[in-house]
């Protein structure tokens, strides 16, 4: 079956369809029951297209986000990695769509607040290291290294991602206290939920990642800074 598919032979697809047809159900709004009646009765759709004029500030925000997204996409094209970064490209488009609804959908990110207390962050790393030590050789981050990482965050040092070798973009911290771009790290994994730390090769999972505390655009007090968008006004 796989060989036929690789060779572009339609028999491979027909074979798959013949197998799945017996175990899968496919229903559409045009499907009918045994007596010929539609299985779903929907009212006629009322579609209205309303064009909204963006404010100058919304236009500027969108243009800035578009240019940054285009730079990322052009990098994928230049590296020949477009086919390997579909998820990242779709996320770029998603952010542009969200921006059209309201800039705060792109600017706000709640998980940056969880470890905004750097002392709490240091304790989190030390605790993770102690859990690794139990019954095994110590391979967790050392206290000195953790202090160095926390001090860099405290001073607001930008640093660079060890994967793309550029300034951090939406940085995350691994349980082993390594800082990387979220997108770069996830793109390096074969599995979408877990993989190896590119720095120390320790196995980590996506849910263990910590969004690095920062004063970037992702931290904003929405309650105090809220303004209506063109879509609401």
* Same structural domain, 15 and 62: no
Q: Is residue 127 part of a domain?
A: yes
CATH of the domain at 186: 3.30.40.10
Separation between Cα atoms, residue 156 and residue 139, nearest integer Å: 27
Q: Which domain holds residue 176?
A: 111-211
Strands 171-173 and 210-211 turn out to be antiparallel
* Same structural domain, 82 and 119: no
Separation between Cα atoms, residue 33 and residue 22, nearest integer Å: 18
* Same structural domain, 21 and 63: no
Q: Is residue 102 part of a domain?
A: yes
* Same structural domain, 6 and 62: no
Separation between Cα atoms, residue 98 and residue 90, nearest integer Å: 12
Q: Is residue 230 part of a domain?
A: no
* Same structural domain, 118 and 203: yes
Q: Is residue 131 part of a domain?
A: yes
SS3 101: helix
Q: Is residue 232 part of a domain?
A: no
What's the number of domains the chain is made of?
A: 3
Q: Is residue 221 part of a domain?
A: no
Q: Is residue 177 part of a domain?
A: yes
pLDDT tens, position by position, 56-104: 888 888 888 899 889 889 988 988 888 888 888 888 898 899 888 887 7
* Same structural domain, 33 and 74: no
Q: Is residue 166 part of a domain?
A: yes
* Same structural domain, 135 and 156: yes
Strands 179-181 and 194-196 turn out to be unpaired
Closest CA to 115 of 212, 181, 218, 182: 212
* Same structural domain, 123 and 37: no
Model pTM score: 0.41
* Same structural domain, 122 and 182: yes
> Can you say whether residue 170 is alpha, beta or left, with left for phi > 0 and alpha for psi between -120 and 50 degrees?
left
| R_g of the chain computed on alpha carbons | 24
CB 177 within 8 A of CB 125: yes
pLDDT, one tens digit for every residue, the chain (233 residues): 555 555 667 777 788 888 887 788 778 888 888 899 988 888 888 999 888 888 888 888 888 889 988 988 998 898 888 888 888 888 889 889 988 888 777 765 544 444 344 455 455 554 554 444 344 434 566 677 777 777 777 666 667 888 888 777 778 888 888 888 888 888 888 888 888 888 888 888 888 788 776 554 444 454 555 566 666 55
* Same structural domain, 120 and 99: no
């Amino acid at each position: 079956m796989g060989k036929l598919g690789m060779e572009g032979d339609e028999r491979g697809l027909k074979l798959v369809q013949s197998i799945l047809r017996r175990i899968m159900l496919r229903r559409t709004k045009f499907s009918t029951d045994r007596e010929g009646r539609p299985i779903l009765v929907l009212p006629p759709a009322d579609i209205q297209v309303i064009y909204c004029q963006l404010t100058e500030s919304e236009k500027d925000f969108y243009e800035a986000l578009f240019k940054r997204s285009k730079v990322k996409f052009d990098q994928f094209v230049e590296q020949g990695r477009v086919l390997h970064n579909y998820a990242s490209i779709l996320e770029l488009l998603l952010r542009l769509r969200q921006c059209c609804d309201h800039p705060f959908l792109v600017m706000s990110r709640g998980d940056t607040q969880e470890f905004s207390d750097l002392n709490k962050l240091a304790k989190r790393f030390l605790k993770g290291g102690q859990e690794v030590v139990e019954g095994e050789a110590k391979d967790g981050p050392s206290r000195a290294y953790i202090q160095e990482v926390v001090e860099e965050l405290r001073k607001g040092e930008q640093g660079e991602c060890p994967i793309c070798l550029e300034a951090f973009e939406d940085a995350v911290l691994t349980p082993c206290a390594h800082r990387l771009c979220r997108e770069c790290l996830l793109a390096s994994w074969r599995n979408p939920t877990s993989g190896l730390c590119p720095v120390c090769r320790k196995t980590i999972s996506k849910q263990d990642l910590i969004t690095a505390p920062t004063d970037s655009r992702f931290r904003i007090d929405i309650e105090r800074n809220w303004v209506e968008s063109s879509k609401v006004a």
